[in-house]
Amino acid sequence: MASRASRASRSSTTSTQPAQRQLDLIAASARGNEDKLRSVLAEGVPWSSSKDQAALRRALQKASARDNLTIVRLLLEYGADVEARSDDDLPALFRAAQAGQTAVMWELLAHDPDLEGCNRDGQTPLFVASVRGLKEAVEMLLQKGALIDAEDRDGRTPLLAVAADKSTRSIWTSGALETVQLLIYNGANVEARDSIGRTPLLWAATNGHYDLAKLLLENGADVSAANNRGRTALHLVVGSSDETHRQSTMKLLLQHQADPRAVSDGGWTPLHNAAQRGLTSAVQLLLSADAHVNAALSNGMTPLHWAAFNGFEDVVEVILTRPDAALGIKDGFGRAPWLCAAEKGHYELMDVLSPVRNCNKIPQPMQDACKSLDATIVEFKQSGEKQRIFKHSVYDLLYGWDHKNERPKIPAYTANGGLSTDFRWIHLPANNIWLRNVC
């Protein structure tokens, strides 16, 4: 014989579980089986208990995402609640908007649902309809008074959500652009900022949305706006993964007076970002727009440092076409660009960046000083032969290049009569410095 405790346990379990008819109701609604639904509803009249009401509400939520207006109307006739009553529920209107079921939305709107009923992320039906480019649904919600600048948990408005959603790139041809135009026409704030300080234009640049960026700029978006880290749209588009639209979006921003010298936290400019990533075309475009070629980060690295460090020879060569590109700037670790290349084993770049190859970039006063002073080279031979003494200008010693033979004017090693040099002393007159060159 069952104990009182076990009977109580079974009773409690039974009271918390939905009855079979309630499960059948939800299943028939989800599948769009009208005949089955009518049969189930007829069996259970009246549907008035809390479990019945919960089942009707859940059935309506599932049916609202499908193209079956008859079932939605039938459930509403039996008193299905259009609102969500728990965190696990999504309002019927939200589901209909998410699925683009405009006829269902009209039916639900006739029952005065909460237009701001949202999901766990705080997004209302207007958010999902906007992101999916469902112009008719957006228009319908706005006509009924949906808040156009409602914010979700990330501080994003529907317009920000469209710009931030990477997937929207695939639906620009099916209503997204018209939806954005509709939002802006109805007063959406084009300068709204989310929790990380990004505006719709900053998100459009991040995701490579050229058409969206163009539309926002045409409607007064601030091209110089920066996020919480000081990054402008020009900074962010350089980092965009959309290679197809990166260059065109950069040109668009520059045409609208984007500042190629804008500085974000740490001293980063768009040119730093482009050089670090090896984006040769972007580097060319920024330099042609008068980007600061020698801008330094807080750690002292210039765009040339980054290009050398990461081994991007094409970028290095583009930067070196600028007469004012400086080779001798040292970063916070005491490295000139050629040393950054050496540190990472980019030996071909060491040659490209060598001062010998780029003596035209040495300041003229320094060139004149080097040419006016002589260095003394003393070579010692293993055989005990008398040391050899040579004199050359400091300029020829450090920067002289024999273009005909493609080698330094003053060779690093001197072979004479088959005798090898044991070591070499080089005397530089500046501060009376002696250098030993071991061979």
Q: What is the pLDDT of residues 378-409, one digit of tens each?
A: 887 766 677 788 898 888 888 888 888 888 88
pLDDT surpassing 60 at residue 1: no
| 155 and 249 part of one domain | yes
Q: Which residue has the higher pLDDT, 429 or 254?
A: 254
* pLDDT for res 422: 67
Q: What tens digit of pLDDT does each residue of 8-24 get?
A: 444 444 445 668 999 99
Count of domains forming the chain: 4
For the stretch 151-169, pLDDT in tens is 999 999 999 999 998 875 5
Residue 137 placed within a domain: no
CATH of the domain at 279: 1.25.40.20
Residues 242 and 303 placed together within one structural domain of the fold:
no
Domain end position, chosen among 361, 384, 403:
361
Q: Do residues 168 and 264 both lie within one domain?
A: no
* Residues 174 and 204 reside in one and the same domain: yes
**58 in the same domain as 31:** yes
From 114, 139, 167, the end of a domain falls on: 114
316 pLDDT band (50/70/90 cuts)?
A: very high
Is there a single domain that holds both residue 243 and residue 266?
A: no
In a shared domain, residues 184 and 266: no
Residues 324 and 304 in one domain: yes
Can you tell me the distance from the alpha carbon of 151 to that of 227, in angstroms, rounded to the nearest whole number? 18
CA nearest 19: which of 57, 49, 61? 49
Among 55, 89, 114, the domain-final residue is 114
In a domain, 123, yes or no: no
What whole-number distance in Å separates Cα of residue 61 and Cα of residue 70? 14
Residue 135 domain-assigned (yes or no)? no
pTM, to two decimals: 0.83
Is residue 78 included in any domain, yes or no? yes
pLDDT tens-digit map of 18-56: 689 999 999 999 999 999 999 999 987 788 899 999 999
- Residue 337 pLDDT greater than 70, yes or no: yes
Q: For residue 336, what pLDDT is reported? A: 92
- Going by pLDDT thresholds of 50, 70 and 90, the confidence category of residue 317 is very high
Does 52 share its domain with 74? yes
CB-based contact 223:197 (threshold 8 Å): no
| Structure confidence by residue, pLDDT tens digits, 404-425 | 888 888 875 555 544 455 677 8
Contact 95, 103 (CB under 8 A): no
> Which contacts qualify for 250-255: CB closer than 8 Å, 24 or more apart?
250/282, 250/285, 250/286, 251/285, 252/210, 252/213, 252/214, 252/217, 253/205, 253/213, 253/217, 253/223, 254/285, 254/289
**Same domain membership, residue 346 and residue 282:** yes
Task: Name the residue type at position 406.
Answer: E
Which residue matches tokens 């003229």?
Answer: 364
Q: Quick one: which of 16, 35, 94 has its CA closest to 60?
A: 94
For residue 234, the enclosing domain spans 151-256
- ∠ Cα 237 242 248 (to 5°): 60
What pLDDT does 111 receive?
95
Quick: pLDDT tens for 97-153.
999 999 999 999 999 999 999 999 999 999 999 998 999 999 999 999 999 999 999
With pLDDT > 90 as the criterion, what percentage of the chain qualifies? 64
**pLDDT value of position 420:** 58
- Residue 127 domain flag: no
CA of 235: how far to CAs of 46, 57, 276, in Å? 63, 48, 12
pLDDT over 60 (residue 434): no
350-362 pLDDT per residue, tens: 889 987 888 877 7
pLDDT of 389:
85
Q: Which residue has the higher pLDDT, 13 or 60?
A: 60
Please list, in sequence order, all residues whose beta carbon lies within 8 angstroms of the beta carbon of residue 124, skipping any fewer than 6 positions away.
Answer: 94, 115, 116, 117, 118, 146, 147, 150, 158
Is residue 299 located within the same domain as residue 357? yes
What is the mean predicted confidence (pLDDT) over 328-341?
93
Does 243 reside within a domain?
Answer: yes
Residue 366 has pLDDT above 60, yes or no: yes
Would residue 145 count as lying in a domain? no
* pLDDT tens by residue, 175-227: 788 999 999 999 999 999 999 999 999 999 999 899 999 999 999 999 999 99
pLDDT mean over 89-100:
93
Mean per-residue pLDDT, 77-81 = 94
Is residue 420 in some structural domain? yes
Do 205 and 277 belong together in one domain?
no
Q: In the predicted model, is pLDDT for residue 5 greater than 50?
A: no
Please provide the average confidence, as pLDDT, over all residues in the chain: 88
**Complete DSSP assignment for 265-329:** GGG--HHHHHHHHT-HHHHHHHHHTT--TT---TT---HHHHHHHTT-HHHHHHHHTSTT--S--
Q: Identify the pLDDT of residue 409.
A: 83
Q: Give yes or no for residue 7 having a pLDDT over 70.
A: no
